[in-house]
Every structure is written in C-alpha cells, then in structure tokens.
Structure 1
Amino acid sequence: MSAQDWLSQGTLVLASNNKGKIAEFEKLFAELDLPVDVIPQGQLNIEDAIEDGLSFIENAIIKARHASRISGNPAIADDSGICVPILGGAPGIYSARYAGEHGNDAENNEKLLTNLKPFRKDQQAIEGMFVCVLALVQHADDPLPQIFQGIWVGEVLEQARGENGFGYDPLFLLPELGLSSAEMTKDEKNKISHRGQAMQLFRASLQK
C-alpha cells in the first residue's frame, strides 16, 4: 500500500475515543499537514473495538479494522501502554484497564505503585517503557497493515510528579532530563515520546 493509495481517499479515521490520545494526535497530524481530513472515530459515532488481542500490534490492527469497517474509510489506530520488565511486562496491553475500570488513570497509577513496592530497594531505579504501535489499514480487510512502533525508555517513579499529560505520564521519569513525562510540555513530549517516535516513522513512510 503506497501513501498515494489512501491519501487519495480524502479521509483518514483515527480509531480512538481517548481524549488524551486524540489531543496529542491532533497536534502531531497538524504538523504533518496531510492532504486528508483526520477524523476521530467518535465524530462518526464509532464505539471502541473489543481489544481481545494479546499484543499491542494485534490490538492496534483490531481497532483500525473496526473503524475502517464501520466508516468505509482508511483508518489508523494506536495501541499503547507502559511495560515494566520487573513485572513481566505488565501492565502492557492492559495499561488502560489495569485497575479494572477502563481509563481510570488515578487507580491505574496507584495499582502500579502498589505492585512495585516489593521491588523497591536501596534507591535502585525501576525501568519502565512506554510503547506505542500505530496500525494503518487502507480498508477493513487490508491484508498488509502498515505498522509503526515507538518505544520510550525511562524509569517508574515512587510517586506522581507533574500536571500535564495523561495515563502513566506522572510516574514516568526521563532520568537524562530529570523530568517526568507529566512535567514536559506537549511539544517537548511529542518530539521524543513513544507516540512521537511512531508518528515520525509514519511520516517517513509518506515520503517513500
């Protein structure tokens, strides 16, 4: 699938109803200045897909196909979360519903902090990785979805810091900057984040 194939269709559906993600994507897409209208699926009354995959890639494809099937347009979906190696990669694909209720950031953060307490010792840093997978499909049955992946490595703080961002941003420390993701401006975050990395790969694919 070349960029020209789906760009010529005029509309690209963003398969997300997450306000935080949509805000970041709107800024990132604005910078791309694409010759298509990028429309969040909620504006088309498309509800969230059932995410029953076992990986970020599977879930991103599921969401993209779902939005494309209902809208009849090409769709791009993001599946993302935080992986903590010492917890076997958890929360992983369950990041948004780690504490049970989907999208309850405060409870998800609290559960992660609680689960990490037994591993805190001698001020040793605990590594965490934000992962973002973008899946682009030209149509619902596209046999060759395009995949763009970004991984942002940092540390998991012992308590929240910062008021910006969403999700696990307040717990994610960039040690080289001395800032949490929630202490960064949107522009600063988008330049280096997992989502920003994936979008940069997406941008590069348009130039092929």
Structure 2
Amino acid sequence: MSTLVLATRNAHKVGELRAILGGHLPGVEVVGVDAFDSDPDRAVGDVVESGVTFAENALLKARAVAAGTGLPAVADDSGLCVDVLGGAPGIFSARWCGRHGDDEANLRLLLAQLADVPAPHRGAHFACAAALVLPDGTEHVELGSLPGVLVAQPSGGGGFGYDPILVPDAERAPGGRGRTCAQLSAEEKNAISHRGAAFRAIAPAIARALG
C-alpha cells in the first residue's frame, strides 16, 4: 500500500481528508505527520507559514513534510475571505484575534467588526489551496472555494473555525434550508466545501504520482 502524508496533526482534518480522498485513491494509506513523531529521522517540526497566499503556505508545509519523511506529502491552507474587509481575514483566519487557533475569539472579533454591515453586504467565501509535493521536487497546486454570506449569530455545533457563521450559496438557493456550514452533516459539507473541491481536484495528480 502506498502512503500519503498529510501536513497536519489535527485528527479532525485527517479524518475529513480521508473521507474526501478515499474514493479517489484506493489502496493509498493517508496518515498525518504525527505518525512519524516517534521516528527521529523522519519527524517533522512545525512549519512557519510565511507565505502571503494560501498556495504559498500550503507549499511550504508540503515541502517540509516531503523532505522530512521522504514520502509524497499533501498540505492545505485555507481561510475565510470577507468581501467588505477586502478579503480579510484570509491567510490570517486562524489567528485573526492575535492567537493562533482560538476559534471562539476569532469568531467574536469578526462578528464585532461586521456588526454594522447590513445583510446584503455580508458576502464572503471560504478559500482553500491544496498542494502536493513529491520527494523528487515535483509540485502541484489546486484551489477550491465555497461562496456564501455571513450571519450575525453563530448557528450549529458541527465543523470548526468560522463554519457557524457562513451560509453557503447552495443553502440559500431554492430548495435550500438556510443552514450554516456548522449545521451540515460531514457528508453534506464535504460535497460542497472549499477543501473538498481543492482535494478532489488534486486527487488525480496524487493518483498519478502514487501509480
């Protein structure tokens, strides 16, 4: 069985990407970088995300993992881009409040910044860049997007990050139920999400690389 390493220690993300990629990559074992933490020769440390685009940050992470493990590596970088904020938080989504990974504080700050913005002007989209890097230096990047609008109050207990405040356009269309990303099932979210789109797009390149 071939092995593909995801540049994350987040078990939630590993599970999500396994679900997205599973049907496209039969016979491929998908693992997180924590699978190598006990191997000093292949352990991978944290990567400084110094890029100025989602694609640059995804490539930085994938390059580090491919170099450290000697295996094909995939990384993604994603975030929320708000129209009236000129695309912010963007690459700073995970640390918008000044602390990395504090989802609740990030959410509170963003909602406060948008408090006076009327509903017709609360357009936003989730963006994702997925990067594949092979040990021989081959690189491939694909992008995905999930457009929608931001609501004033969080709804739903699923997902993570800004999921509780973005209602995808598909949920606003005729027949939709107006649910936020956090109110969708994992299967529903994966079918339309920015991350799902980016990883489904890159799956053929992964399949070719792994034979």
TM-score under structure 2 normalisation? Answer: 0.86
Percentage of pairs with the same residue: 38
Q: Distance in 2 between matches of 1:207 and 1:73?
A: 14
Match of 1:4 in 2: none
- 8 Å Cα contact 2:58-2:76 kept in structure 1: yes
Match of 1:156 in 2: 150
Deviation at 1:71, TM superposition (A): 0.9
The gaps in structure 1 that reach 5 residues or longer are 1-7
Match of 2:191 in 1: 191
Q: Which amino acid aligns with 2:193?
A: S
Match of 1:146 in 2: 140
Which of residues 112, 119, 135 in structure 1 aligns to 2:131?
Answer: 135
Regions of 4+ moved over 6 Å: none
Higher mean displacement: 38-47 or 160-169? 38-47
Q: Distance in 2 between matches of 1:43 and 1:100?
A: 30
Deviation at 1:125, TM superposition (A): 4.4
Q: Distance in 2 between matches of 1:99 and 1:19?
A: 24
Q: Deviations over 1:36-77 (max 9, x none)?
A: 221101221233311000000000000000111111111000
Q: How many residues align?
A: 196
The gaps in structure 2 that reach 5 residues or longer are 38-43
Deviation at 1:157, TM superposition (A): 1.0
TM-score under structure 1 normalisation? Answer: 0.87
1:171 paired to 2:162:
no
Q: What secondary structure is seen at the aligned counterpart in 2 of 1:124?
A: helix
CA distance 1:101–1:21, change in 2 (3 Å):
same
Match of 2:59 in 1: 61
Q: What secondary structure is seen at the aligned counterpart in 1 of 2:5?
A: strand
Q: Distance in 1 between matches of 2:106 and 2:9?
A: 18
Q: Distance in 2 between matches of 1:12 and 1:79?
A: 17
Deviation at 1:35, TM superposition (A): 2.5
Q: Distance in 1 between matches of 2:25 and 2:60?
A: 26
Q: Distance in 2 between matches of 1:203 and 1:166?
A: 24
